Amino acid sequence: MSLNLEDLRRDYLMGGLDHADLDDDPIAQFERWLQQAIDLQLKDPTAMTVATVDASGQPSQRIVLLKKVDHGFVFYTNYGSRKAQELAVNPKVSLHFPWHDIERQVKVCGVAEKISAAESAKYFLSRPKESQLAAWASHQSHPVSTRQLLMQQVARMKEKFANGEMPAPDFWGGFRVVPTEIEFWQGGANRLHDRFQYTRTDSGWARTRLAP
């Protein structure tokens, strides 16, 4: 089977982007765009691709959910997972938010650092019980022979914590990606997209328009 993909294309006509449309602070600008995506009820507006690189230079990507925005971008994972192990070797990371329905995307480059155990525990206790159980039961990114074995481990954890509050596992927690670069992309007609890159400097953020 051979797929003909060359003619699959569409034009982007939902609007442009100029310096005057942007906040001087890229975090504030991101929050503005994210709120618009939420208000428009886009599916999974907080979904982002997290790209890491292992010790050999091999990149790897996966989709996780953004859980907090402050001076960085916070997500949670098992600290034994592939992404966490790669971040332990190389903390440089790239995030990508694809908001296709409004012809926008945001790319973040920065450095990931573990958040405090207290902050991780606070978020963990806010999760649904089933999600808490899953965090305890799953050795994320490690081989598992059958789904039945995974569900048996869930059942064991459910029994273990049946009579009390479930604490946050010490092998699970958050990362905060502190940005050094943030790019905002707005689709444009005839592939003449609008791109603005914020770069962190000693005195704040510098903003530059990039060719599409």
- Binding site residue list for FMN: 62-67, 76-77, 82-83, 105, 140-141, 185, 195
Per the rule left: phi > 0, alpha: psi between -120 and 50, beta: everything else, 89 is alpha
Partnered with residue 186 across adjacent β-strands are 104, 194
Q: Which of 104, 191, 207, 209 is catalytic?
A: 191
Binding residues for substrate: 9-12, 67, 123, 127, 131, 191-193
Decide if 191 is catalytic: yes
DSSP notation for the chain: -----TT------S----GGGS-SSHHHHHHHHHHHHHHTT-SSTTEEEEEEE-TTS-EEEEEEE--EESSSEEEEEETTSHHHHHHHH--EEEEEEEEGGGTEEEEEEEEEEEPPHHHHHHHHHHS-HHHHHHHHH--TTS--S-HHHHHHHHHHHHHHTTTS--PPPTTEEEEEEEEEEEEEEE--GGG--EEEEEEEETTEEEEEEE--
Give the active site residues: 191
